[in-house]
Structure 1
Amino acid sequence: MKYTVLGAGAMGLRYGVLLQEAGYDVDFVDTWDKQVETIRAQKGVYVSRDGQNKHLVPVNIYYPEEYQGDPDVLIVFTKQYQLTDFLKRCERFFNDKQYVVTCMNGMGHVEKLNQYFPKERLLGGTALIGTVLNKAGDVDFIGPKGAGSMNIANETEEPDQMTHQIVDEFTQAGLNPNLTTNFLGTLMAKVIFNSVINTLCTMFKIRMGEYIQSPVAKKLGVQLIDEAFDVCERAGITLLNTRQEEWETVSYVSRVSNPLHFPSMYQDISKNRQTEVDYINGYIYELGLKHHYEAKTHDFLRNLVHLAEFSGTFDVDGYIQSVLESDKKNVQATQQAEA
């Protein structure tokens, strides 16, 4: 089948490049000028694995307004807060035969996608696959070849022939998909995973493998997982895992699959970009309020991440330098006065 990836960031590039390497026809569409122009100028994207063996992979990339392709499947990997505008710019090449697969972080995207694609042609996925965009046109796949996995489910929870073909082709690409028939439970499992890993690693600027070594890692993680499960139980959402299995997933992925990975939220905040915390911890908190439950730890962490975002707007180095220069001038003035 032919695939078009909407959003050529870290995860979009990983999915698209792996499918292309498996022999499938893949195009990329993006709205970030620097990404599009850099990839075009260097005639491809530089791909590394755990920082090693950087090589150029030729890819086709387009702005939405110029794209003329007719894909069978769209793979959506934008940021939550970018999705509405992205879809509006792309709708000219949508049609009533295309399927869409989304493995975005957080929640809020399904309703937006349903404005263009019916439930029968939408698959929701969750990816436990670490990838870092070092800079425009330069991506690093974290973990050895074949590392990582994903869950995927039809919004209707009734897999059809096209679904099985997508799963088969994702398998050939080494994405290790697991097809489920629990749509919301599948999506929320990753939201809960990210509510632990993304926020805690981001707040303390550590990799997943560093977080899991902490003697308080389990206590913090289990507290967040328990609150999230309490919310889902009240909302009538049956999750894929038990509470214990969810923690074991966090532990295994942190220790074994992606110990060197900085989560995407950390990547965003380190580059002074808006994070998706409102669609992860914030979503859990707001869902809880709808069912008369207050997930206070998730709300507290959401606000801490927003404080970190806000602090990034200050030029700390420049401020310190100005203070030092002011102190130096004051000392010189005092010395001159005493002389």
Structure 2
Amino acid sequence: MPASAPLHARITGIGTYVPSRILTNEQLSQLVDTNDEWIVQRTGIHERRIATEHEYTSDLCIAAVDNLLARYPGALDGVELVIASTHTPDLSSTPVACLVQAHFGLSAAGAYDVNATCAGFTYALHQASALAAAGVHRKILVVSGDTLSKITDYTDRSTCILFGDGAGAVVVERDEAQPAFLAHHIGADGRGAAHVYRTGLAQQLHGLPLAGGGKLVQNGREVYRFAVSTVPQGVERLLAKSELTIGDVDWFIPHSANLRMIDSICEKLALPLGKALTSMEYYGNTSAASIPLALDLGVQDGRVKPGDLLLLYGFGGGLTHAGLLVRWG
């Protein structure tokens, strides 16, 4: 496989937000037949953050951008496009990106949403880096957020223990001197769409009836199989494109779905689990927000340093998956 040329684009700022309300494993045990030990052993999750009744995905995304601006003043100056990744928009007909654009007065910027569920951040980042590198838009705001608590069935212990709410935001700019996006790999397997879904207008898929009544439905076993086989294969393709090895990677930042799943992926990649950055332990599975949340935890505590090579890999409903090799800073 020939090496791919790095894209002339760079991440120049990051911000994140999680709601203040905490839902612990102990509190969940009051709702369904479960306990802290059972949840931690199977998922690695201790607690998750939950949006208030009147707090929606756009509110979380706006708060993440506020955090970005507090750390990188002027980060929104000259933004030409807003891309939001979410599958829990406030309104089905209004992009979250438009609500973010309006809030920050980015009247000269276009705005649209991407729905690739838990792979949403890597899908949106892939688009943003390509557009910036091509010079189509020199500065792009990417926001990723979900309020999964609003679509979670809290009588189903197989799913309600997993999900939380959060948001992340990054600015992507064209950079001709130091290209930071080294390689990408993107894919999907629509045959597995019935393994993770939420009903909408259709009440059947591939001729079979759907359940859930508007709540999230997941076949955890099939999603696990998909992730532990597809992600390592995608990573190998990424490394081949960039002519790098897994040893060159400083930090692996996968979608924070389940710690056991990530452990299995790392084992297949011969990558120490200690080189994986995750966010599910105290935020839960936050879907599109999980990768930026994990990245920002590493940035804020000093583990992620300028020049570090990051391997980002999202995977989720659809079934979608996408990975990026990115040089930080």
TM-score over 0.5 for the pair: no
Structure label with greater radius of gyration: 1
TM-score by length of 1: 0.28
TM-score by length of 2: 0.28
Q: Which has the higher strand share?
A: 2
Q: Which has the higher helix share?
A: 1
Higher relative contact order (CA 8 A, sep 6+): 2
